[in-house]
Copies of this chain bind each other. A is one copy, B any other.
Amino acid sequence: MEPVRRQQLIEATLQSVAELGLQATTINSISKKAGMSSGIISHYFGGKQGLIEATVRYLLSSLQRSLLHKTAQGCSPEQRLMFIVEANFAVVQQQSDTTRTWLSFWAHSMHDAQLHRLQRVNARRLYSNLLYSFKQLMAQGEAREAAELSAAMIDGLWLRAVLSKADDAQFDSAQDLAKRYIQSLIQQFGV
């Protein structure tokens, strides 16, 4: 029963944060959405904080899993870079907007040590995923700069799309810009 309930509560949390924001998300708003009692949260997660943290961990591993799945049967470095962009933008894919949920969590990470650790993992992972492929296309020094710039461009396009409450078409357009930017980096620095 435990793994089922944990998953249900995590999904209810995602829904509640997407809808109300982290600020207005309470154990009541979550448990009501999950169709359970409020006490169950403390029972399975030790408290609200534990559930929030588990939810972020779930998002993180989803992102990672989606990238691994796309690159499972090998691909070229260029293609892998495009997959990284897709994975990072496709956080939207699932029902409702998980995007604003990420933003809530990252903003909160500035004042929460545990969440900040998770944020750091996420930022470094994007960078090293990019670096790995760039290194196969250019010298190490250029690859590092390309990875840093690409990471910033992806996050920046994503952030501006989220904040302006962009629709799917606008998200796709931002994703295209990110891809074209990476291709221009390859052309500029590639051997």
Q: Which residues of B contact A188 (CB under 8 A)?
A: 184
Q: How far is the CA of A162 from the CA of B120 in the complex (A)?
A: 11
CB neighbours of A51 from chain B (8 A): none
Q: Which of A120, A152, A160 has most B Cβ within 10 Å?
A: A152
Task: Knowing A23-B22, A107-B107, say if A153 contacts B163 (CB, 8 Å).
Answer: no
Taking the full assembly, how many copies of this chain does it contain? 2
- The answer for the CA separation of A188 and B104 in the assembled complex, in Å, is 37
Residues of B within 8 A of A108 (CB): 21, 23, 107
A111 to B104, CA, bound (A): 10
A149 in the interface (beta carbon within 8 A) = yes
Q: How far is the CB of A78 from chain B (nearest CB, A)?
A: 20
Q: Of B123, B149, B163, which contacts A119 at CB under 8 A?
A: B163
Q: Is there an interface contact between A163 and B22, defined as CB atoms closer than 8 Å? A: no
Measured between alpha carbons, how far is A120 from B163 in the docked complex, in Å?
A: 8
B163 touches A152 (CB 8 A): no
A149 touches B181 (CB 8 A): yes
Min distance, Cβ A178 to any Cβ of chain B, angstroms: 8
Interface residue A148 (Cβ < 8 Å from any Cβ of B): yes
Q: A157 with B163: in contact, given A20-B111, A108-B23 (CB under 8 Å)? A: no
Interface: A70 (CB within 8 A): no
Query: Could you write out 5 A-B pairs with CB less than 8 Å apart?
Result: A103-B106, A107-B107, A110-B162, A123-B163, A156-B157
